Structure 1
Amino acid sequence: MTTAFGFQSLFGNTTGSSNAAFGINSLLSNTTGELNTAIGSHSLLNNTTGNWNTASGSFALTSNVSGNGNTAVGHRAMNENTIGNDNTATGFEALYSNTTGVANTGFGLGALALNNTGNDNSATGTYALNYNINGYNNTANGFQAISFNTSGYGNVGLGYQALLTNATGFVNTCIGDEADVTSSNLSNATAIGHFAKVSTSNSMVFGNAAVTKWGFGTNVTQAGAALQVGTFGTANGNGAYLTTGGAWTNNSSIHFKEDFSTLDKKQILDKISSLTISRWRYKGTANEYHIGPVAEEFYKAFSVGTDDQHLSTIDPSGIALAGIQELYDRAKEQQAIIEKQQKQIDDLLKRIEVLEKK
C-alpha cells in the first residue's frame, strides 16, 4: 500500500510499494523503491530505487537516488546523499554532504555535515565531526568534537571541542573538555582530562598543567605524593607513589608483608661478588647509560621478583643492605681482633721499655 499527501508527492511512482509521502514533491521521482517514508517538502525528492529510507524534514534526503536504509530527521539532513546506505542523521544539515558514505551516525546541528565518502563515523553534538570528508571509524561526542577532522580515521573525541585540532591524524583519543592534540597530524596520541594537551605521537597525557596529583586505583592521600598506585584494601602491599620531588616510593610497612625468612648474609655477600656489574644502555636509546647487573644473573642468584627479565627497585637495595650488614659484622670482628692485637702490642712495648731501663 502506498500513501501520498501533498503536491506531486510520489508523482513518478511505478511499482514501488509500501511507501508514504507527506509534503510537496516528497518522493517525487520514486519509481520502484519500497518501504520509504518521506515527511516534509522535497524530502526524498530524487529517490528512484532506494528502499527502507526515512526522511523527516524539508529537503531531507532530497538527493537520494538508490541509497538504502537511511534515516534523516531535520531540515536538509543528508541532503546530498545519493547511494550511501545505512546512515542516520538527526539535526539541521546533519550529514548534509554525504553522498556515498556508509553506516554513519550524526546527531546534532551540522554533525558530520561535510562528510562525503567517509564510513562508520559516529558524531553526537553540534558540529561534531563537521568537516570530516572521507575519514572513517571516528567517534565524536560533544560540541565541535573532532570538528576539523577531514581524512583522519579511528579517532575518539569525547567532550566540548575534544580533539578539535586534528585533521589527518589517526587513532588518537581525547577525552575531556578541550582535551586536544597540538598538531593536526599526530597518531596514537591520547589526552585525558580538562584542557589536557598531547604534543607527540605514541604518547599519553593525563590532566593539564594544573594537575598535581594522579591516582591509579586509589585516591592520592599520601602527603607529598604526586602519583600513587593502589588496589582495593592495599592488602597486597600496593600503594606505591611518586613524590613531588620525583622519587619513586614503595610501601614497605610490616603490615603489608608476610612469609619472612632468615638470610645467610655471608652467602649473599659471596653472591654479590659474583655478579657481573657493568655499564650499559637500553636498546633504542642513544646516550642514556646505566650501571648495574642483568636480571637473569640477579634472579638466578637471589630468586626474587616475578621473573628473570625484570628488577624491582626494592630488591637490589635490600640485597645491598644485607651485604653491607655482613661487611659491618666482618669489620666489627676484625676491629675486635685489631684492638686485641693492639693491646698485646702495647703490653709488649711496655715490657720492652722496662727491660731497656734496666
Structure 2
Amino acid sequence: MNRHRRSAKNILYSRRQVMKSLIFLIMFMSGLVNAQIPKTLSYQGVLTDASGTAVTDGSYSLTFKLYESATSGPLVWEETQSVTVANGIFSVILGSSTTLNLLFNKQYWLGIAVDGGSELQPRIQLTSAAYSLNAQSVADSAVTGAAIASGSVVRSINSLTEDVNLVAGDNVTVVNDGNSVVISTTGLGLTFPFSVTVNEPDRPFNIVNIGLGGVAAFQTLNENTLFPVLDITQRGIGVAGVFSITKSDNFKPALEATTKGQGPVILVEHKGSAGNLAEFETLSERKVTISRDGDIIAAGDLEIGGKIIFGDNTEQTTAASSNGAGWLLRGNTGIDTSNFIGTLDYLPFEIKVNDARGFRLEPAGSGTFFSPNLIGGFAGNEVTNNAIGATIGGGGLNTNSHQISADFGAIGGGTKNLVSARFGTVSGGSSNTTSGEFAVIGGGEGNRAVATFVGSADFGAIGGGKQNLVSGRFGTVSGGSSNTSSGQFAAVGGGESNQASVDHATVAGGKSNRAENFFTTVSGGELNTAFKSHGTIAGGKSNSTEAGFATVSGGQKNLASASHATIGGGELNTASEIHTTVSGGKNNAASYFYDTVGGGRDNVAKSSESGAATVGGGERNQAIGDYATVSGGLNNIARGTESTVSGGDFNTASRNYSTVGGGRNNIAANQGATVPGGRGNHARGSHSFAAGYHARAIHNGSFVWNDRSVTSGNDSLVSTANNQFLIRAAGGVGIGTNSPGFPLEMGSGAHVTTGGVWTNASSRAYKEKITNLSTEEALSAFQNLNPVKYNYKNETDEQYVGFIAEDVPELVATKDRKSLSPMDIVAIMTKVVQQQQAVISKLQERMVELENRE
C-alpha cells in the first residue's frame, strides 16, 4: 500500500503561508524570553492506498528513519509514533520520543514505514529548513577565529605570510617607512606616517601628522556648499569645551579637553575656513569605536545626555538610563527592572523598521492593573473604542488594515480583519469579522461571526474558508464557502452554500444542503433539506425529510414525509406514513403504517387498516392488503390480507391468505387458495389448488393438476365438484417411481393399465421365501372362509359381498386384520379347486371304467 505522497510538501507550504503572521508574533515573543532552539522537526504528509484514495480515518503506526544516503545506509536516527490520520492527512513532530542528536551539517534522507510494513520508496531528501538546527552551534554569538577558514580574513598582521597592500585614496596618503607599518594599541596617541598637506576649504576637518608629513583627513563628503558636519557637543546650556589632537614627543597625538560653561564636555571643533562643525564618517563597512586607554568603553561608562543631531538636522533623544547604563544592541547582562525598553508615562511605544511602524504598545490604563494593547504589522492597524488587552500580531495593508474595537480581542495576521466584541479572535486570513463575544475565526476570507441580536453570535467559531457566516450562539462553520450556521449549537462542517438554521442542526458538508429544524442532520450531498426535527439525510441530491425522525440515507429526489419513515436511497422514492420504509430503487412508494418496499421500480406498498404490506422488489408490483407480500417480479398484486405473490409476472393473490408462488397470469382468488406456479392457473375455490398449465380449481377444496398435453381447443382441466383431485398427466402418474409406464404406477410394480384394470405386482423379482401351498392348508382356510353381504358405513346405498378381515383364517389375514388381499383368497381357492379337479378327474376315470365293464 502506497500511503505516502510527495504532495505533502505542498500541503505543508500552504499551511506555513496561512500561519505566517502568527509565526512572526510567536518568534518575536520567543526572542524576548531567549528560548532554546527545539531539537525537533515538523513533518506533514498524506497516506493513500494504491489507487491514490485517502486511507480510512484512524490511528496508524509510522516509523521514521534518517539516513546519510538516498538508497543505503548508514541509519543515524529512528523513532516510531502512533499518528492520527484524517482525510489522509497526518502531522507529526519528529524527535518527540527519540532526541534528534544530529548536527545537521550534512545531507540526510527520511524513510517512512507504515504499520510495521516495508519502508516506502523513495526516501525523502531533507530541505534547508531542517539544517537551521545547525545554527545552535553559534546561539551564544561566540564566533571565534578558529571557526573562520584560514586566509579568509586578516586576524593578525604580525603572523601574516601574505602581502598587505595599503592603497592611497582620496582621503589618505600612505608613506612606507622601510618594511614596516606600526599601528599602536596603547596610549592616547596614534603612530603612523602620514603625508603632509595644508588645510583645504573643501576638507573642513583634518588630522595633521606634524612629524613625518602627509595628511590623514576626516571630512564631509557631501558637496553641499553648507558643508554638512559631524557635531559631538552639548547644545543648549553652557559653553562646550574643546579637544584637539596634537603631536607629542613620541609622535602620539594627545587628546586634550577644556571646560567651559557649566560642565566638562568634549568638543570636536572645526579648524577649517568654512562652517563651525565637523563630521566623522566611515568610508567602508568597518565600525567606529570609542575607547579609553586602549579598551572599548563598556556599557555604563559612557553617558550621552541631551540629543543626537542627524545629518538631516532631525533630533533623537538618547536611550540612556538614570544610572548611566545603556541598552546594548548585542545583548545585555546584569540588568534588572530598572533597565527596560519602553515608556514611564501614559504614552504608546513603537518599534519601526525602514522608518515605518512595525510594532506598537499602547497603555490601557494607569498603573499595572490593565493589559496594554499589542499592535503589530501595518502602521494603519488600530485598536479603537478605548479597548484594552487587544492583540494584533501582524499583517495589514494600506486600505486593508486590521481593527479591534473591544476588550481582549485578538487578530493574528492577514489583512482587513475586524474584531468588535470582547474576547473575539481572528487568527488570520482577509476581511474576516467577528462581533460575538468569545467568537473565533481561524482564517480564510470574508468570514463573519456576527450577532443578529445581542449575544447571538457569542462563542461562535469559523475554522476558515470563504464567505462563511455564524450568527447563532455556539454555532460552528469549520470551513468551505458561503456556509451559514444561524442556530444555537448549529454546525456546518464544510462544503458550499450549506445552512444549519436552527438550534442543534448539523450539515456536515456538500453543497446547498439545509438543516432547518431542531436536531436535524444533513451529512453531505447536494440540495438536500431536513425540514422537521430530528430528521436525517446522509447524502445524495435533492432529498427531503418532512417529518420528525424521518431518514433518507442517500439517492436523489427521495421524500420521507412521515414520522420515523426511512428511505435507504434510489430515486424518486416516497415513504409517506409512520414507520414506512423504502430501501431503494426508483419511484417506489410505501404509503401506510409500517409498509415496506425493498427496491425495484414503480412498486407500491399500500395497506389499509393494520398496515405492514411488503414489496421486496421488481417492477410495478403492488402489496395492497394488510400484511400482504409481493416478493418481486413484474405487475404482481397481493390484494388480500396476508396474501402472497412470490414472483413471476401478472399474478394476483386477491383474497385473504391466498398464495401465488410464481409463474405468469396466475390467480389465487379465494381464501386460502394456492397456485404454486405455472401459467394461466386459477384457484378460485376456497382452499383450492391449481397447478401446471390452465388448471382450473374453481370448487372449494379442489385439487387440479393439468399438463400441457392438450395443445389446441379447450386445453384447460376444470374441477366439477368440491374436494376433487384431478390430474391430467399424459406421461403417467408415478407413486414411488419417476418413470411410470402406465396411467398410474406404483413403485411396487402395481399399476392401472391404460384400459383401466388394476394389476398387482407379482413378479418373482419382488418376492422371496417361496414355497408350495399344501392342499390341506388351502382346504382348511377355504373351509373357514365365511362369505357375507355388507355395505360401507360412509356408503349406505351400495351393497357388497365379501369377507370380514377380522374373521378370515390366519393364512389369508393381514397383520392389522383391517384389510384383505383378494389374491390371497384367489390362491387358496385355486388350490382347493385344483384338488377338487383332481378328485373329479379320478371319479370320471372310475366312471368310464365302470361303464366299460358293463
Q: How does 1:1-358 map to 2 (within 5 A)?
A: 2-3=537-538, 5-7=540-542, 9-16=543-550, 19-24=552-557, 26-27=559-560, 29-33=561-565, 35-41=566-572, 43-47=573-577, 49-50=578-579, 52-58=581-587, 60-64=588-592, 66-67=593-594, 69-75=596-602, 77-78=603-604, 80-81=606-607, 84-85=611-612, 87-95=614-622, 98=624, 101-102=626-627, 104-112=629-637, 115=639, 117-129=640-652, 132-146=653-667, 149-163=668-682, 166-167=683-684, 169-181=685-697, 183=698, 185-194=699-708, 195-207=716-728, 211=730, 213-216=732-735, 217-221=737-741, 225-230=742-747, 238-298=748-808, 300-339=809-848, 341-342=850-851, 346=854
Please report how far the alpha carbon of residue 118 of structure 1 lies from its aligned counterpart in structure 2 after TM superposition. 1.6
- Residue-by-residue CA offset, 1:148-207 (whole Å, 9 max, x unaligned): x344214133101122xx33x2332222122222x3x42142324234443333222222
Matches of 2:656 and 2:696, distance apart in 1: 18
TM-score under structure 2 normalisation? 0.33
Matches of 1:15 and 1:219, distance apart in 2: 61
Please report how far the alpha carbon of residue 74 of structure 1 lies from its aligned counterpart in structure 2 after TM superposition. 1.5
TM-score under structure 1 normalisation? 0.74
**Total equivalences in the alignment:** 310
Matches of 2:812 and 2:807, distance apart in 1: 10
Identity of aligned residues (%): 16
Matches of 2:757 and 2:677, distance apart in 1: 34
Q: Is the 1:125–1:142 contact (alpha carbons within 8 Å) kept by the matching residues of 2?
A: yes
Please report how far the alpha carbon of residue 103 of structure 1 lies from its aligned counterpart in structure 2 after TM superposition. 5.3
Q: Is the 2:665–2:681 contact (alpha carbons within 8 Å) kept by the matching residues of 1?
A: yes
Please report how far the alpha carbon of residue 271 of structure 1 lies from its aligned counterpart in structure 2 after TM superposition. 2.9
Matches of 1:267 and 1:127, distance apart in 2: 68
Matches of 2:679 and 2:635, distance apart in 1: 15
Matches of 2:636 and 2:731, distance apart in 1: 36
Q: Secondary structure at the match of 1:160?
A: coil
More helix by share: 1
Structure 1 residues 201 and 247: alpha-carbon distance in aligned structure 2, compared to 1, 3 A threshold: same
Please report how far the alpha carbon of residue 31 of structure 1 lies from its aligned counterpart in structure 2 after TM superposition. 3.2
- Residue-by-residue CA offset, 1:79-124 (whole Å, 9 max, x unaligned): 534663261243343115x15x2151242232016x1x52151331
Please report how far the alpha carbon of residue 287 of structure 1 lies from its aligned counterpart in structure 2 after TM superposition. 4.0
Please report how far the alpha carbon of residue 321 of structure 1 lies from its aligned counterpart in structure 2 after TM superposition. 0.6
Q: Secondary structure at the match of 1:174?
A: strand
Q: Secondary structure at the match of 2:634?
A: coil
Kindly name which structure, 1 or 2, has the bigger radius of gyration based on alpha carbons.
Answer: 2
Structure 1 residues 239 and 79: alpha-carbon distance in aligned structure 2, compared to 1, 3 A threshold: closer
Q: Secondary structure at the match of 2:836?
A: helix
Matches of 1:226 and 1:87, distance apart in 2: 43
Structure 1 residues 89 and 78: alpha-carbon distance in aligned structure 2, compared to 1, 3 A threshold: farther
Q: Secondary structure at the match of 2:761?
A: coil
Q: Is the 2:750–2:761 contact (alpha carbons within 8 Å) kept by the matching residues of 1?
A: yes
Q: Secondary structure at the match of 2:807?
A: helix
Report the RMSD for the aligned CA atoms in angstroms: 3.0
Matches of 2:604 and 2:564, distance apart in 1: 21
Structure 1 residues 71 and 188: alpha-carbon distance in aligned structure 2, compared to 1, 3 A threshold: same
Q: Secondary structure at the match of 2:829?
A: helix
Q: Is the 2:751–2:758 contact (alpha carbons within 8 Å) kept by the matching residues of 1?
A: yes
Matches of 1:199 and 1:107, distance apart in 2: 33
More strand by share: 2
Please report how far the alpha carbon of residue 307 of structure 1 lies from its aligned counterpart in structure 2 after TM superposition. 3.3
Q: Secondary structure at the match of 1:296?
A: coil
Matches of 2:725 and 2:654, distance apart in 1: 27
Query: What amino acid maps onto 2:574 in structure 1?
Result: L
- Residue-by-residue CA offset, 1:194-248 (whole Å, 9 max, x unaligned): 344433332222226xx27444315344xxx543323xxxxxxx31222222222
Structure of greater relative contact order (alpha carbons < 8 Å, 6+ residues apart): 1
Matches of 1:57 and 1:159, distance apart in 2: 29
